[in-house]
């Protein structure tokens, strides 16, 4: 699956316009970048850092807590496993920012 980053919530790690390759149903570990469905609006996807596995799902956080419009687990709580789409494995565009993630 491919996604495009929108917004500043993951700066400086990810920038708006970055293109990501996402591995669906991959094993998630704390520290991984993940794509999840926004609780309350499952048609919207979000990219966040998986911080810890809680009893009721994954605690997901933005890298940039001051970003306007940022939403993460501080706003909606842990995201259940069913809400996790996959793990980010590669930033493939722009080419000058090409990088692999675990």
Residue 98 pLDDT: 80
Residue 73 pLDDT: 97
Residue 96 pLDDT: 80
H or E segment and range at residue 93: strand 84-93
Per-residue pLDDT tens for 38-93? 999 999 999 999 999 999 999 999 999 999 989 999 999 999 999 999 999 999 99
Is the predicted pLDDT of residue 3 greater than 80, yes or no?
yes
Q: Which residue has the higher pLDDT, 100 or 1?
A: 1
Is the predicted pLDDT of residue 95 greater than 90, yes or no?
no
Domains and CATH numbers, the chain: 2-94 (2.10.109.10)
Residue 102 pLDDT: 77
């Amino acid at each position: 699956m491919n996604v495009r980053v929108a917004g500043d919530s993951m700066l400086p790690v990810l920038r708006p316009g970055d293109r990501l390759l996402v591995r669906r149903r991959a094993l998630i570990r704390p520290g991984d970048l993940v794509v999840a469905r926004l609780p309350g609006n499952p048609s919207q996807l979000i990219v966040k850092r998986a911080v810890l596995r809680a009893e009721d799902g994954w605690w997901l956080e933005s890298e940039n807590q001051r970003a306007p419009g940022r939403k993460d687990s501080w706003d909606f709580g842990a995201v259940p496993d069913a809400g996790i789409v996959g793990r980010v494995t590669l930033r493939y565009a722009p080419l000058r920012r090409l990088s692999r993630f675990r």
